[in-house]
Amino acid sequence: MSWKSAKLNQKNLFFAFVDLKEFKELPDVFLVPSGVVHQYYSGGDPSTWRWPRYHIEVEKTEPYKNKWDLVSQGLNP
């Protein structure tokens, strides 16, 4: 992820974070709306961060796990 993309906040934009599970089974895809990522980077002081990394608690990722319907909803007003 780049700083430019971390700052995006668009209704029809999603980030897909993928857990490859060491290639032993099908991956999980976490489809996170850009607004959620944007809000994450809006807190704190980005000048102290070396690079943008989206590290949230595992339990907070569950609402986005393989939720392709979020993308459909975002694309259909």
Residue at token pair 């796990």:
65
| pLDDT by residue, tens only, the chain of 77 residues | 787 888 889 988 999 999 999 999 999 999 999 999 888 887 666 666 677 777 788 788 899 999 999 888 877 76
Backbone angle region of 59, left / alpha / beta, with phi > 0 → left and psi within -120 to 50 → alpha = alpha
Three-state SS at 6: helix
The C-alpha atoms of residue 57 and residue 66 are separated, in whole angstroms, by 17
Q: Name the residue ranges covered by the structural domains of the chain.
A: 3-75
